[in-house]
Amino acid sequence: MSKKHITTRINGEDVEFLAEPGASLLAALRDELGLTGSKEGCNNGNCGACNVVFDGALVNACCVLAVEANGVEITTIEGVANGEELHPLQTSFLENAALQCGICTPGFIVAAKALLDKEPDADEARIRHWLAGNLCRCTGYDKIVRAVLDAAADMRRTPA
Amino acid sequence: MTDKPNYRVIGTRPVRPDGIDKVTGRAQYGADTRLPGMLRGYVLRSPHAHAKIRGIDTSKAEALPGVKAVMTAADFCAPGQTVDQLPDLSANLMAGTKALYRGHAVAAVAAITDEIARDAAALIEVNYEVLPPVLDVREAMLPGAPILHEAMRSRTPTGPGENPSNIVAHTLSAFGDADAALAECDVVVDIVTSTKMVHQGYIEPQAATATWNPDGQVVIWTCTQGSFPARQNCSQILGHPISKIKVIPTEIGGGFGGKIAVYLEPVAAVLARKTGKPVKLTMDRSDVFEGTGPTPGTSIRATLGATKDGKFKALKADMAYENGAYPGAAATYATMVAAACYDIEHVKIDAFDVVVNKPRTQDYRAPSSPAAAFAIEQLVDKAAEKLGMDPLKLRLANSSHEGSRGPMGMPFSRIGHAECVEAALDSPHYNAPLEGPNRGRGVASGFWFNVGLRSSVNVTVQPDGTVSLVEGSTDIGGTRASLAMQLAETIGVEYEDVKPAVVDTDAVGYNDVTAGSRVTFASGMAVVEAGRNLIKEMTARLATAWNVPADAISFSNGVFSTADGSKTGTFKQIAENVVGRGPGLTVSGSVNAGFLQGGGFAHHIVDVEVDPDTGKVQILRYTAVQDVGTAVHPSYVEGQLQGGAAQGIGWALNEEYYYDETGRMVNAGYLDYRIPTTLDVPMIDTILVEVPNPLHPYGVRGAGEPPIVPPLAAIANAVYRATGQRQTQLPMSPRRILETTGKLG
Amino acid sequence: MFIPAMMRSMTGGAAQVPASGATVRAVIEDLVRQHPGLAGRVVDENGVRPELFIAVGSEEIFNLDQAVAEGAEVHLLAAIAGG
Ligand code: FES
Ligand code: FES
């Protein structure tokens, strides 16, 4: 089967690439485009390590076909910081020690950002519910949930 | 509590040095390695749990366009060696004569794309003669069970067995006379438990990339817990000198004991040799479940006897641990930890290591201890009930202490089990009433001895007066930070002035694995030694510069000064102005911290609510107490306690390898092998007890392992209080709860 | 002298056996004299076997020439790491 030419926008930049018809968006990001910040934990939608924002919606990149990215706007973990300036969620994860091994961290930060962008007042129950698709095996989630709560409070104080 | 020295850096909570790379997606993990011209590999695995391999035909796979090489176990053989002679280490990576579990690797392909490699693997024809599998540890011990290894004879206390057996070893650990003592006890309680195989569940699957140059130089990038042991194992499997293998550790996405053994590394190396190109291999999640090493399922019978005033007199246990497909020592480990929390005069433990047609087991955080505690900590709970005593006070009355005999016969040095139980007694959680129907509170203790082993670090003074710290132990949970903090404390500089890095096997002295809770402890000792060496060397140079004898210069609180105080300088000033003018300055610190750290104890309290209709157990409140010696970076220590507790909660309530009768794991994915999510655990409170470890200059104890030990029993004890039914089998899934508490609802 | 479980087939099943000597090395030599099955399994020409470690009382020792007091407990222990 022949590859398809895809035009998309990733982290604010126009990007073109050739996609295998059966390849996932995750494989395209990681293998074709060198954006290895999105991680593969399961490749079937169960861990959230591959979370990206896809035309405003949070998706598991492993469950989206690369060819579906045509004409779409995508944000990956590499696009969360504003240049040299970390996003409040990134700062909060660091200050709260919300990562141990860090493999789940990109997915959590992308997912939490997608939540807080829409629901800046999310409380602990809402955050836990929203993040239930993201697995972390190291932290027991305590410090992750606190980091998101802290970042939300911070973002409410200084709206972007 | 004990007077705590006034530390400047230790006990603070700085941001970790590798943090920014990890929150921005820049950090490079195992699967992120990309090399020019790199091929992708794929491993073909046995669909059968037990089968003879009569032959493997790879010709169709080799003929597929885009395929560059195919390998089988024969490629691990030395000249003249046949596949039936391969040692277990190699045979587990590539089955030669027999596939011993479903998921056992049988061949591997390198091709220009991942898809072609997969397609080619499907073209490999393996001629299997399917054999009946044995999957249950007690069944495997019976005469007439299908035999995994015809040549294997049991090791027993009276010498080797005569006939082939699946029992690797019968280990007897006995002090005093448990049978006679039990007969005299006023209160005797017993229990029979069983637990299922569970997986470490690290989120990052195994991945390895290798190059093999024509001159025999091999480079391997891998997400390992130990680059030096990985190099050693690759050298053995490949029959290739250590000096020609360089292992570059990538960032590692969790391990918990599961990333000590090599799986893909030697396979990638062979494929790289055959193709002359870099080859990358990655596992998918089902490969991780089926093809790597989980922790054993167990079957335990135990009896505890006490006097009527609550003194434990005797403990007797019979413990069988699955080793998976190849011999291990999980049950032998269990004899060294099972009775550690208590001072009991008469102990007799018969332990059986047993092979079954499941993946070869590996360590998982405090290996063998959680399943043993599941039995013994429930016995303590039963005894407390019979004696009418508070379960914490009963534990306190029987606690191991400095000088009491440990489970290996050796007396304990300064340990903190009693302090943990006292802290639990004083905790807000234990003193808060728990009200409402179907609710219960449980407690349990846990032990892991924590190892020291060998570590080496290098410290180099930089021109601007900062220092770089080069270490060889991979950093899974923030050890770059905890080591940099110990160096900053020792040499009196700011944490920010220490720049730590984990380097490859050619760049630093020997380091054992990141396991056994040892890095902050033992590499910390190496760091302190390097720091002291650095101060000594700087003092010598300063003596020349200041033209005073070296012994006239003292160093404290980060300041060098002469006895009369006429000349002084901070570390940074001296490093910049004196060292900076001379030849470069690098010192090293190397230690063998031995095997024992003195012991780490934990105590957990949990409140549960059991839904009488669905059988679902919800964790309402959780507190983890642990003696951590000295908490270097308290946030990361708390994180170890919280993470370990969450893993224990998963083990207790949901996780298990679920097999059909053919030996197929039917839940080899995260959807059906359910690890805890944000909705399954509450905030986990921690109480850090600090009984300084006399074996470490700053009193550090390893913190990573003990927290997975208590949860299984603590939750079982809580469920008992909530329902009146003892839970003797794991996991306590909704179905199991409904089965055992049929009367609820 | 305390013998680890996995080596007790060499001491007739005994977990604890008497041995004498002024140093750890001498105590081990005496042990091996009594139980020749242990020859080469505790120490070899390069020192303590890597799968074992030795403690006197509650202290792990690294130097075989360390003195052992009358009545002291010497422990031979199996090495193990963890996850
Ligand atoms: S890798 Fe996509 S959800 Fe796990
Ligand atoms: S920090 Fe390791 S999986 Fe989350």
Q: What is the pLDDT of residue C44?
A: 84
- Do A100 and A138 fall within a single domain? yes
Q: What is the pLDDT of residue C16?
A: 82
The residue whose two tokens read 């075989």 is: C64
Q: Is A47 in the pocket of ligand 1 (CB under 6 A)?
A: yes
C64 within domain boundaries? yes
- Domains of chain A: total: 2
Q: Is A50 in the pocket of ligand 1 (CB under 6 A)?
A: yes
Q: What is the pLDDT of residue A159?
A: 66
Query: Which has the higher per-residue pLDDT, C73 or A100?
Result: A100
A118 within domain boundaries? yes
Expressed in angstroms and rounded, the spacing between residue B693 Cα and the centre of ligand 2 is: 28
The residue whose two tokens read 């509450």 is: B682
C79–B410 C-beta distance less than 8 A:
no
A13 within domain boundaries? yes
Residue A27 phi/psi, 5-degree rounding, is: -60, -40
Give the span between the Cα atoms of B187 and B438, in whole angstroms: 28
**Average confidence (pLDDT) over A77-102:** 96
A103–B254 C-beta distance less than 8 A:
yes
In the sheet that B684-689 helps form, which strands lie side by side, from edge to edge? Answer: B439-448, B600-610, B617-627, B684-689
Query: Which has the higher per-residue pLDDT, C74 or B82?
Result: B82
- B 416-475 residues with CB below 8 A of C? 448, 450-451, 453
C78–B451 C-beta distance less than 8 A:
no
Q: Do B and A touch, counting CB pairs below 8 Å (3 needed)?
A: yes
Q: Is B345's pLDDT higher than 60?
A: yes
C83 within domain boundaries? no
DSSP-assigned states of every residue in B286-300? HHHHHHS--B--EEE
Ligand closest to the CA atom of residue B477: 2
Give the span between the Cα atoms of B438 and B453, in whole angstroms: 47
Q: Percentage of chain A surpassing pLDDT 90?
A: 93
Residues of C in contact with B474 (CB under 8 A): none
- Nearest CA distance, A98 vs chain B (angstrom): 8
Residue A39 phi/psi, 5-degree rounding, is: -105, 155
Q: Is B87's pLDDT higher than 50?
A: yes
Q: Domain-by-domain residue ranges, chain B?
A: 19-26+452-587, 33-131+206-282, 298-450+596-741
Per-residue tokens: B670: 């995260």
Rounded alpha-carbon distances, angstroms, from residue A69 to A16, B121, B358: 10, 30, 41
Q: What sign has the CA pseudo-torsion B493, B495, B496, B502?
A: positive
- Do A48 and A24 fall within a single domain? yes
Tell me the Ramachandran region of residue B599: left when phi exceeds 0, alpha when psi lies from -120 to 50, beta otherwise: left
Expressed in angstroms and rounded, the spacing between residue B604 Cα and the centre of ligand 1 is: 32
Q: Is A135 in the pocket of ligand 1 (CB under 6 A)?
A: no
**C9 in contact with chain B, both atoms CB, cutoff 8 A:** yes
- A 1-20 residues with CB below 8 A of B? 20
Q: Is C54's pLDDT higher than 90?
A: no
What pLDDT, in 10s, does the model give residues B441-458? 999 999 998 778 889 999
CA B370 to centroid of chain Cα atoms: 12
- Give the ipTM: 0.97
- Do A44 and A13 fall within a single domain? yes
Q: What is the pLDDT of residue B692?
A: 94
Residue B287 phi/psi, 5-degree rounding, is: -60, -40
Q: What is the pLDDT of residue A160?
A: 58
What pLDDT, in 10s, does the model give residues B726-735? 999 999 999 9
Q: What is the pLDDT of residue B2?
A: 47
**C6 in contact with chain B, both atoms CB, cutoff 8 A:** yes
Q: What is the pLDDT of residue A9?
A: 98
DSSP code for A159? -
C19 within domain boundaries? yes
Q: What is the pLDDT of residue B1?
A: 42
Q: What is the pLDDT of residue B670?
A: 95
Answer yes or no: CATH 3.30.365.10 is held by domain B19-26+452-587.
yes
Task: Report the CATH number at residue A92.
Answer: 1.10.150.120
Tell me the Ramachandran region of residue B90: left when phi exceeds 0, alpha when psi lies from -120 to 50, beta otherwise: alpha
- Do A9 and A72 fall within a single domain? yes
| Residues shown for chain B | 745
Give the span between the Cα atoms of B15 and B589, in whole angstroms: 25
Give the span between the Cα atoms of A28 and B721, in whole angstroms: 52
Q: Is B745's pLDDT higher than 60?
A: no
What pLDDT, in 10s, does the model give residues A1-32? 689 999 999 999 999 999 999 999 999 999 99
Banded model confidence at residue A137, pLDDT cuts 50, 70, 90: very high
- Tell me what the pLDDT averaged over chain B comes to: 95
Residue B243 phi/psi, 5-degree rounding, is: -65, -15
**B239 in contact with chain C, both atoms CB, cutoff 8 A:** no
- Do A8 and A74 fall within a single domain? yes
Q: Is A49 in the pocket of ligand 1 (CB under 6 A)?
A: yes
Going through B420-486 in order, the beta strands assigned E by DSSP cover 439-448, 454-461, 467-471
The residue whose two tokens read 């480079």 is: B219
Which of B177, B453, B595 to probe the C interface (max C CBs under 10 A)? B595
Total H helices, total E strands in chain C: 1, 5
Q: What is the pLDDT of residue B609?
A: 98
For residue A39, give the ligand 1 atom closest to its CA: 1
Question: Closest Cα to residue A151, out of A119, A103, A129?
Answer: A119
Q: What is the pLDDT of residue B592?
A: 87
A83 within domain boundaries? no
Q: What is the pLDDT of residue B490?
A: 96
Range B298-450+596-741: architecture per CATH: 2-Layer Sandwich (3.30)
- Nearest CA distance, A7 vs chain B (angstrom): 23
Banded model confidence at residue C63, pLDDT cuts 50, 70, 90: confident
Given 3.90.1170.50, 3.40.50.300, 3.30.70.250, 3.40.190.150, which CATH number is that of B33-131+206-282?
A: 3.90.1170.50
- Nearest CA distance, B662 vs chain C (angstrom): 30
B645–A103 C-beta distance less than 8 A:
no
Establish how many alpha carbons lie within 13 A of residue B323's alpha carbon, considering only the half-sphere containing its beta carbon. Answer: 26
Q: Do C and B touch, counting CB pairs below 8 Å (3 needed)?
A: yes
Expressed in angstroms and rounded, the spacing between residue B108 Cα and the centre of ligand 2 is: 30
**Average confidence (pLDDT) over B317-322:** 98
Rounded alpha-carbon distances, angstroms, from residue B536 to A1, B530, B551, B554: 68, 10, 10, 10
**B25 in contact with chain A, both atoms CB, cutoff 8 A:** yes
Neighbours of C39 (CB within 10 A): 12
Task: Report the CATH number at residue A18.
Answer: 3.10.20.30
Ligand closest to the CA atom of residue B203: 2
Q: Percentage of chain B surpassing pLDDT 90?
A: 89
Expressed in angstroms and rounded, the spacing between residue B288 Cα and the centre of ligand 1 is: 14
State the SS3 of B651-693.
HHHCCCCCECCCCCECCCCCCCCCCCCCCCCCCEEEEEECCCC
- Domains of chain C: total: 1
Which residue has its alpha carbon closest to ligand 2 atom 4?
A: A136
**B401 in contact with chain C, both atoms CB, cutoff 8 A:** no
Q: Is A104 in the pocket of ligand 1 (CB under 6 A)?
A: no
What pLDDT, in 10s, does the model give residues C30-45? 998 998 888 888 888 8
Expressed in angstroms and rounded, the spacing between residue B202 Cα and the centre of ligand 2 is: 8
A120 within domain boundaries? yes
Looking only at the bridges linking them, the beta strands covering B155-156 and B98-99 are unpaired
DSSP-assigned states of every residue in A120-135? TT--HHHHHHHGGG--
**3 state SS of B190:** strand
Residues of C in contact with B351 (CB under 8 A): 5
- Do A107 and A144 fall within a single domain? yes
Q: Is C82's pLDDT higher than 60?
A: no
**3 state SS of B273:** helix
B367–C83 C-beta distance less than 8 A:
yes
Residues of B in contact with A142 (CB under 8 A): 638, 642, 681, 683-684
List residues bridging with B128 in a β-sheet: B53
A96 within domain boundaries? yes
Rounded alpha-carbon distances, angstroms, from residue B573 to A160, B461, B527, B585: 42, 12, 21, 15
Q: What is the pLDDT of residue C52?
A: 82
Establish how many alpha carbons lie within 13 A of residue B289's alpha carbon, considering only the half-sphere containing its beta carbon. Answer: 23
Expressed in angstroms and rounded, the spacing between residue A81 Cα and the centre of ligand 1 is: 22
Give the span between the Cα atoms of B364 and B643, in whole angstroms: 13
What pLDDT, in 10s, does the model give residues B147-180? 999 999 999 888 889 999 999 999 988 889 999 9
Query: Which has the higher per-residue pLDDT, C60 or B331?
Result: B331
**Residue B567 exposed, middle or buried by CB count within 10 Å (0-12, 13-18, 19+):** middle
B647–A41 C-beta distance less than 8 A:
no
Task: Report the CATH number at residue C72.
Answer: 3.10.20.30
Q: Is B203 in the pocket of ligand 2 (CB under 6 A)?
A: yes
Q: What is the pLDDT of residue C73?
A: 86
Q: What is the pLDDT of residue C80?
A: 64
Question: Residues with Cβ < 8 Å from B643, sequence gap 6 or more?
Answer: A100, A137, A138, A139, A140, B477, B707
In this chain, the answer to whether the domains covering B19-26+452-587 and B298-450+596-741 adopt an identical fold is yes
The residue whose two tokens read 């298990």 is: B656
Question: Closest Cα to residue A48, out of A94, A97, A108?
Answer: A108
**Binding partners of C (≥3 Cβ pairs within 8 A):** B
On whether the CB atoms of residues A42 and A62 are closer than 8 A, the answer is: yes
Domain that includes residue A21, residue range: 4-78
